[in-house]
Amino acid sequence: MLKSLLSLGVELNQIHDLDILMERILERARHFSGADAGSVYIREGDRLKFSYTQNRTLERRLAPGRKLVYTTYSIPVDKTSIAGYVAESGEFLNIENVYDLSDNLSYRFNKEMDTLADYRTASMLTLPLVTPTSGTMGVLQVINAQDDKGRTIPFSTEDEEVMFHFAALAAVALERAQITRSAILRLVEASALRDPLETGAHVNRVAEYSITLYENWARCHSVPEEEITINRDVFRMAAMLHDVGKIAIPDRILKKPGKLDSEEFERMKEHTFIGARLFQPFESAYNRAAAEVALCHHERWDGKGYPGCVEIMTGAPCKGACQADGSSGTKAGESIPVFGRIVALADVFDALSSKRAYKESWKEKDVLAYIRNEKGGQFDPELVDIFFDVYDELKRIQDFYAHPEPSAG
C-alpha cells in the first residue's frame, strides 16, 4: 500500500493538465478506498463549484462508451451542507449514513441529488483540499465504500488516512493550476501596458469574438459540451494573448503613424513566433493553446500567411517535415490549428472595424464585404459562414465594448 502510494505521487506530478489530473486523482482515490462514487468541488470565492465526479453504478447503466453528464451547480461555503461545512471548518467528515444524520447538526444531506440521479448515497467521507499558502481550495468527497461482495459499508480509519494523502495531492495540483492562470492574466496586463491605446479593448473583443465563433464551430463538429466548457476558458486566455509577442517590437515600428516599410513589416511579423516562445515549455493546456494562437493567428487558409513552419526559437524555416502531409514550409487549410484560424478572423474583423495609429476604421459594410470576399482565401470558409450566422452576437460584443455598461456597485 505504501509503495503504491509513493509511486502514485511521482506519477501524478508528471501530469500538468488540471482536468486530467483531477480525473486521475478521483479515480485512484475511489480505487484505494473502495468507493463507488466520488466528487471534487472547487472553491470560487464563497461558493463551492461541483467540478469533477465519477459514479460506477450510474456509469454501468449507460451504453458502452457514453459518459455521464452532470448539470453543473454550486453551493455556498457555509455549515448547511456537508461539503460546505468541510470547506468552512477545514475539518473532515466521515459519515456512516447520510440519511441518518442527527437533527442537531447544522448540515443536511441534499436528497435531491439522489432523486435526480436515481442513486442511493449511504456512507460518505469528505475532506478539505488545503494548502499552507492558499488555504481551503476545495473539497474531495468519496461515496459508498464497498466490501468485496459489493455491499455498502462505512469508510474506515485507514480510508481516512489514505484519503488525506489524496487530498494533499489534489490541493497542490489545484494551486499550481491557479498560479498558471494568474500568471497568464498578468501577461495580458503587461502587454496592455506596453500599447494601451490599441491593446486593451482589442484583446477583449478578439477573445469574445473568438469564443463565440469557437462554440458554434465546436457544436457543428459534435465536440462534447464538457470539452467546449473546458476549452472556452483556455481559449479565452489564448486569444487575449495572440499579440503578446508585440512586446518585443520597438516603439518606432509598433506605434508608427504611417505605413510600415518592408523591413519594418518583416520585423513586425516576428511577433508571432516570439509570442509562442513565451509559453515554452508547453506543459499545460493554457500554454499549448496560447502558443498555438500566437504562432498561427496570421496564417491564411490559402497558405499565403506568415510565419509558416518555423523553429520558434529562431524564426528560421523548419528543416524537417512538420506537416501532417509530410510537407514543410507554409501552413494552409486545416493544417492551421482551429484556434489559429478562428483568431485570424476575429483579429482582422476587429482591426478593420477599429481606428489604428496607421489607419482609420472601416465602414461596417466594407468590413463585411472584405470578409465575405476572403472566404476560402484569407479565411477558413466554414468559419466565414459561422461568422455571418452569429453576426448579431458579434455585434452585441462590439457594442458592449464601445459603450461599456456602468459597472454595478
Binding site for ligand C2E (CB under 6 A): 256, 259-260, 268, 298, 347-348, 351-352, 356-359
* Interacting partner of 391 out of ligand C2E, ligand SIN, Fe ion, none (Cβ under 5 to 8 A depending on kind): none
Q: Which residue has the cell 481551503?
A: 136
Query: Nine-digit cell at 155?
Result: 469508510
- The partner residues of 49 in beta bridges, in order of sequence, read 42, 74
Residues 6+ apart with CB under 8 A from 259: 358
Question: How many chain residues interact with ligand SIN (CB under 6 A)?
Answer: 14
Nearer to Fe ion, 31 or 304 (CB): 304
Q: Tally Cβ neighbours within 10 Å of residue 323.
A: 15
Question: Nearest CA to 273 among 305, 320, 251?
Answer: 305
* Interacting partner of 359 out of ligand C2E, ligand SIN, Fe ion, none (Cβ under 5 to 8 A depending on kind): ligand C2E
In the list 243, 270, 292, 380, the residue contacting ligand SIN (rule: CB under 6 A) is: 243
Nearer to ligand SIN, 41 or 286 (CB): 286
Q: Report the site for Fe ion in 233-292 (rule: CB under 5 A).
A: 243
Nearer to ligand C2E, 232 or 256 (CB): 256
Site string for Fe ion, 347-386 (x = CB under 5 A): x---------------------------------------
Q: Is 58 left (phi over 0), alpha (psi -120 to 50) or beta?
A: alpha
Q: Report the site for ligand SIN in 333-362 (rule: CB under 6 A).
A: 347, 351
* Interacting partner of 367 out of Fe ion, ligand C2E, ligand SIN, none (Cβ under 5 to 8 A depending on kind): none
Reported in sequence order, the residue ranges of 220-287 that DSSP labels E, i.e. its strands, are none
Site string for ligand SIN, 315-334 (x = CB under 6 A): --------------------
Question: 310 — phi, psi (to 5°)?
Answer: -130, 155
- Please, what is the Cα angle at 349 between 344 and 355, to 5 degrees? 120
**Residue 177 Cβ vs ligand SIN, minimum distance, rounded to whole Å:** 4
Question: Nearest CA to 127 among 44, 26, 34?
Answer: 26
* Interacting partner of 291 out of ligand SIN, Fe ion, ligand C2E, none (Cβ under 5 to 8 A depending on kind): none
Site string for ligand SIN, 11-40 (x = CB under 6 A): -----xxx----------------------
Q: How far is CA 156 from CA 32, 124, 160, 171, 312, in A?
A: 12, 11, 6, 22, 53
Q: Check binding of 17 to Fe ion (CB under 5 A).
A: no
Residues 6+ apart with CB under 8 A from 171: 129, 130, 131, 134, 137, 138
